[in-house]
Amino acid sequence: MIPREEKILLSHGNGGRMMHDLIGNLFIRHFGNTILDEQTDAAILPAESPFLAFTTDSFVIDPLFFPGGNIGKLAVCGTVNDLAVSGATPRYISVSFIIEEGFAMRELEMIVESLATEARHAQVTIVTGDTKVVNKGKCDKLFINTAGIGMFRKEDMLVGKALNINPGDAIIINGTIGDHGMAVMNARESFNFKSPVISDCASLNHLIRRMLEQCPGVKFMRDPTRGGVATVLNELAAKTGLGIELSEQALPVSKGVGAMCEILGFEPLHIANEGKVVVVVSEAESRHLLEIMKSHPLGTQSTVIGRIVRDHPMKVVLKTATGGKRIVDSLTGDPLPRIC
Amino acid sequence: MHYVDEYRKKELILAVAGEIRNISKKEITLMEVCGGHTMAIHRFGLNALLPPNIRLLSGPGCPVCVSSQHFLDTAIAYSRIPGAIIATYGDLIRVPGSVTSLEKEKANGADIRIIWSVLEALELAKNNPDRPVFFPGIGFETTAPATAAAIVKAKNDNTRNFFVLSAHKVMPPVMKALVEEGVKIDGFIAPGHVTAITGTAIYDELAAVYGLGVVVSGFEPADMMQAILMLAVQLETGAPKVEVQYKRIVHPDGNKIARDLLAEVFELKDDRWRGLGTIHNSGLKIREDFAHFDAENNFSVLVPELPDPKGCICGSILRGTKTPNDCGLFATACTPSDPVGACMVSGEGTCATFYKYRS
């Protein structure tokens, strides 16, 4: 039974009976599992590997609901993906809600429901959480903070560190770029573009697990969220001291995202993704890895977008469709605040 | 993407480039007036496709860049009026005024909203009837009609708390001023979307009196290459004239409805341009009939006159006499993340374009 009040009241966060009811009737009902059901102050977790990956993230996206997801689903995907691209298997997450007084109970339930569904899908267990309610106007509707713990296989521990990257290595992405940022923008601003752009928001851990198990040569992975693919690759170039060459024609951009970027003057390479992974692999293994990625539903559109090169060290250069070349910088300024 | 991809075909662009090389022998300098053209040239690397005898020069067509520091300081002063909302196009928010920017004022608590259409500013005014909503209006004949339409709508709807700070400008006087000032130009790649409103007659004097070639161009690489080819043909044959390359958008007579709106709401005034000084009849002032919506008419703020930042050569860049590479601050003290001059801020600014597409 969902709590009978239609709106969140300050009393829902005061530690008393109403908070107890909210936790029992909403959070435990959707998230329930043997660890959370204990309702201890701290979750006690079995250590399944000698090394753990630990991450935290906060979600302040506006609007809370967007085509392809909502803040609840996004909170799971964002946390899971940070662990997965580090080479870990995501296992446990915490979820804390900071809710503005007056927030609709029905919307909260929709968010909690979708958070629970995504956690089941990603096979992570929500083991602890917290609820705070703040006065009207003191936060914008709802913020979520998460933490996540993942377990490591020994052989996967270096995959986030960008070691052994060499000229000639291929750069692969698992599908179209810029979908999340443009979907949120379209939902937020009053553009009323008819072509629907849908966020790519998805938990990538199953895809990544398959990649790591079947292709030991994966050298680097990162999820290109805020700042987009351009920012991830500029960081990689700076870290390795090598250059990166991208091919504009090879960049997968959906028609809708391409058109929105064209109209608004954005660079798709700078737009955020929430269900994409950028991978570096040796040229020799790239074809094999592509096959593995394409065999997974989240990787059917995987493609090589560029290479590591010896030229122009620490710079990302795009070969344009018209035959020119230009430098692609990290994002400066923020065209779209609060997209995650 | 329809109506875009067709104009970005490599074979087509290279074919036009070959034709230009065959025809163009004279040393010529062409100025692209519009910031959108500057962007396209660099984004698609068109310079590399042109023979060495053709030189392209960037002109004063970036609305943010030519707006004076005083205009920005005035907008910032309005943001400090109690209750005020500043509704601005995103380009303007990071432009440094003499001591601060709208972005910094926002962090200090000013209510500054980024909008995509002036009608959103009007909507904000309707939803906040007790607060003055200021719209800093920038841009040329392309964006000014939208501002005019919003002002007419505000009057019809009796939205009394909507105020425009107009820095709108018109194109012809500045093009003429550059030529008269002695900037050496053989032809103009004229702005496509401005001309879609004004029609082509505004350039007749440049061709007839000053002997300059004028071709109104679209913004895709094939458009621009074709416009350059048309200018090359004109100049090689000694027959400079006004031509339209961008025929799918530009009618020689322009858009009468938009022009009538402009004339109804605005009148010409002498206006200040960053780096270029005051140019006669180059700005748009709100007419007496609509004075209620003129911010400057209703709110007086004290804005001191301060010099432009030291070392910044935005003015010379806007005049086309220098390029960003001549500036000691370019890409060192002045970058898109920490801009000194306006040309580095706007997406259409010459410095930002040179920086983004440097190689």
pLDDT band at B82 (very low <50, low <70, confident <90, very high): very high
Of B8, B14, B45, the CB nearest to A326: B45
A324: nearest CA partner in chain B: B45
Domain membership of residue B10 (yes or no) is: no
Closest-CA distance of chain B to residue A322, Å: 5
Q: Tell me which chain B residues have a C-beta less than 8 angstroms from the C-beta of A182.
A: none
Note the ipTM here.
0.75
Domain membership of residue B241 (yes or no) is: yes
Is the Cβ–Cβ distance between B208 and B241 less than 8 Å?
Answer: no
d(CA A233, CA A231): 5
d(CA B84, CA A199): 35
On whether both B238 and B155 belong to a single domain, the answer is yes
Inspect the interface and report whether the beta carbons of B48 and A259 lie closer than 8 Å. Answer: no
Q: Is the dihedral of CA B152, B156, B159, B161 positive or negative?
A: positive
Mean pLDDT, to the nearest integer, of B191-199? 96
> In this predicted model, what pLDDT tens digit does every residue of A183-214 receive, in sequence order?
999 888 767 777 789 999 999 999 999 999 99
Domain membership of residue B59 (yes or no) is: yes
On whether both B270 and B322 belong to a single domain, the answer is no
Domain membership of residue B2 (yes or no) is: no
Q: Tell me which chain B residues have a C-beta less than 8 angstroms from the C-beta of A333.
A: 94, 336-337
Q: Tell me which chain A residues have a C-beta less than 8 angstroms from the C-beta of B10.
A: 321-323
Closest-CA distance of chain B to residue A332, Å: 5
A190 touches chain B (CB under 8 A): yes
On whether both B275 and B327 belong to a single domain, the answer is no
On whether both B66 and B196 belong to a single domain, the answer is yes
Inspect the interface and report whether the beta carbons of B4 and A320 lie closer than 8 Å. Answer: no
Give the H or E element holding residue A146. Answer: strand A142-151
Of B48, B94, B116, the CB nearest to A333: B94
Of A265, A321, A325, the CB nearest to B359: A325
On whether both B329 and B215 belong to a single domain, the answer is no
Domain span at residue B118?
A: 26-313
Interface A:B, Cβ pairs < 8 A: 52
d(CA B298, CA B291): 8
Inspect the interface and report whether the beta carbons of A317 and B359 lie closer than 8 Å. Answer: yes
pLDDT at site B345: 77
Inspect the interface and report whether the beta carbons of B10 and A322 lie closer than 8 Å. Answer: yes
Of A190, A323, A327, the CB nearest to B358: A327
d(CA A301, CA A326): 26
B42: nearest CA partner in chain A: A326
On whether both B265 and B183 belong to a single domain, the answer is yes
The residue whose two tokens read 């190689």 is B359
Inspect the interface and report whether the beta carbons of A320 and B347 lie closer than 8 Å. Answer: no
d(CA B50, CA A107): 59
CB atoms within 10 A of CB B91: 22
pLDDT at site A159: 83
Of A324, A327, A332, the CB nearest to B337: A332
Q: Please, which residues have CB within 8 angstroms of residue B40's CB and are 6 or more apart in sequence? A: B46, B219, B220, B221, B224
Whichever domain contains B123, its CATH number is 3.40.50.11740
Is the Cβ–Cβ distance between B85 and B124 less than 8 Å?
Answer: yes
Closest-CA distance of chain A to residue B16, Å: 13
In A86-114, which positions are buried (b, 16+ CB within 10 angstroms) versus exposed (e)?
Answer: bbbbbbbbbbbbbbbbebebebbbebbbb
pLDDT at site A336: 62
DSSP SS3 for A6: coil
Domain membership of residue B92 (yes or no) is: yes
**Domain end call among B298, B313, B328:** B313
Mean pLDDT, to the nearest integer, of B89-103? 87
d(CA B264, CA B152): 9
Of B8, B337, B358, the CB nearest to A322: B8
d(CA B150, CA B46): 38
Bin A139: left if φ > 0, else alpha if -120 < ψ < 50, else beta. beta
Q: Please, which residues have CB within 8 angstroms of residue B253's CB and are 6 or more apart in sequence? A: B199
Instruction: Of A138-147, B1-10, B216-225, B236-245, give the lowest mean pLDDT range.
Output: B1-10
Q: Tell me which chain A residues have a C-beta less than 8 angstroms from the C-beta of B44.
A: 320, 322, 324
Of B10, B335, B337, the CB nearest to A321: B10
Count how many Cα atoms sit within 13 Å of the Cα of residue A309 in the half-sphere of its side chain: 15
Mean pLDDT, to the nearest integer, of A317-331? 84
| Alpha helix positions (H), chain A | 17-22, 29-31, 34-37, 71-85, 105-122, 179-188, 205-214, 228-240, 255-264, 283-294
- Paired sense of beta strands A52-59 and A142-151, if any: antiparallel
- Residue among A267, A317, A232 nearest B336 (CA): A267
Secondary structure of A56-85 in the HEC alphabet?
EEEECCCCCEECCEEHHHHHHHHHHHHHHH
Hey, what long-range contacts does B143-146 have (CB within 8 A, 24 or more apart)?
Answer: B143/B63, B143/B168, B144/B168, B144/B170, B144/B262, B144/B266, B144/B284, B145/B197, B145/B255, B145/B258, B145/B259, B145/B261, B145/B262, B146/B117, B146/B118, B146/B119
On whether both B335 and B264 belong to a single domain, the answer is no
Domain ranges of chain A: 10-156, 170-327
Q: Tell me which chain A residues have a C-beta less than 8 angstroms from the C-beta of B48.
A: 324
- Paired sense of beta strands A89-100 and A125-134, if any: parallel
Mean pLDDT, to the nearest integer, of B41-67? 88
Average pLDDT, chain B: 92
On whether both B243 and B202 belong to a single domain, the answer is yes
DSSP SS3 for B158: coil
- Residue among A23, A94, A6 nearest A54 (CA): A94
Is the Cβ–Cβ distance between A182 and A196 less than 8 Å?
Answer: no
Q: Is domain A170-327 given the CATH code 3.90.650.10 in the classification? A: yes
On whether both B120 and B134 belong to a single domain, the answer is yes
pLDDT band at A12 (very low <50, low <70, confident <90, very high): very high
Of A189, A255, A324, the CB nearest to B116: A189
Fold topology of A10-156: 60s Ribosomal Protein L30; Chain: A; (3.30.1330)
On whether both B239 and B328 belong to a single domain, the answer is no
> What DSSP state is assigned to residue A104?
B
CB atoms within 10 A of CB B130: 6
Inspect the interface and report whether the beta carbons of A325 and B45 lie closer than 8 Å. Answer: yes
The residue whose two tokens read 């994966």 is A218
A167 touches chain B (CB under 8 A): no
Q: Tell me which chain B residues have a C-beta less than 8 angstroms from the C-beta of A326.
A: 42-43, 45, 356-359
On whether both B118 and B90 belong to a single domain, the answer is yes
Closest-CA distance of chain B to residue A321, Å: 7
Q: Structure tokens of B187?
A: 């032809």
> In this predicted model, what pLDDT tens digit does every residue of B132-189 receive, in sequence order?
999 999 999 999 999 999 999 999 999 999 999 999 999 999 999 989 988 889 999 9
Q: Tell me which chain A residues have a C-beta less than 8 angstroms from the C-beta of B15.
A: none
> In this predicted model, what pLDDT tens digit does every residue of A253-310 receive, in sequence order?
999 999 999 888 889 999 999 999 999 999 999 999 999 999 999 999 999 999 999 9
Inspect the interface and report whether the beta carbons of A262 and B4 lie closer than 8 Å. Answer: yes
Specify the number of domains making up chain B: 2
On whether both B286 and B321 belong to a single domain, the answer is no
d(CA A321, CA B44): 8
